[in-house]
Every structure is written in structure tokens, then in C-alpha cells.
Amino acid sequence: MTWSRRFRIRERIRGSLWIVPLLGAVLGTILGLAIAELDRHADLPNSLQYSSSTASTLLTAIVGAAAALTGFVVTVTTLIVQMVTGMFSPRYMRLWYRTAIRY
């Protein structure tokens, strides 16, 4: 593979917005299968075993907290972007965006 081809592929991956979610989905699937297999072979003491209603309540609380945090982060990010785009030119914002994606 030539240097220019590797460079183009690397730049395409850096500029792509779907690579990280795709890797997260694949990793989540693999970890989910591994944990399910581990659960079949592990025997936990009675003090660590919960009823289905307790597990459902705990998961509901976790999902609610995650949704609230996501809403807060989106709101703050939107406000920051609105403030910043009012101060800087589109050319500067493009440079900032490309730099932020690399790190």
C-alpha cells in the first residue's frame, strides 16, 4: 500500500463521525456476549442475587440518569457552539473543528 493511500485512509477515518459509534457497538456486542457467558458459569452468593423487580428499578434509575446527563450535555454544547460561532468566522471554526477531531 502506498503512502498516499494510507494517508487518505487515515484522514478519512479521522474525519469520519461514524467510526467511534461503530467501534462502540461492536465492542458492546462482544462484551455483552462475554458477560452472558460468564453469568452462566458464575455462582453468586445469595447476598448478591436480586429479584427481577429490583434489577428493573435499578436499570430504570440508571437510564433516567443517563438521559438527564445527555440532555444537559447537549444543551451546554449547543449553547457553547452558539456563543463561539457568533464570535469567530466560519474559516476559523473549520480549522478548530478539524483540530478538535484529531485529539
Could you tell me the CA-to-CA distances from 31 to 27, 53, 58, 67 in Å, in that order? 6, 24, 20, 22
The domain locations on the chain are: 1-43, 50-103
For 67, the grid coordinates are 438521559
Residue 93, burial from CB neighbour count under 10 angstroms (0-12, 13-18, 19+): middle
What pLDDT tens digit does each residue of the chain (103 aa) get?
899 999 998 888 888 888 889 999 999 999 999 999 998 888 888 887 888 899 999 999 999 999 999 999 999 888 888 777 776 667 776 776 776 666 5
CA angle 73, 27, 100 (to 5 degrees): 40
pTM of the model: 0.43
* Matching residue, cell 451546554: 76
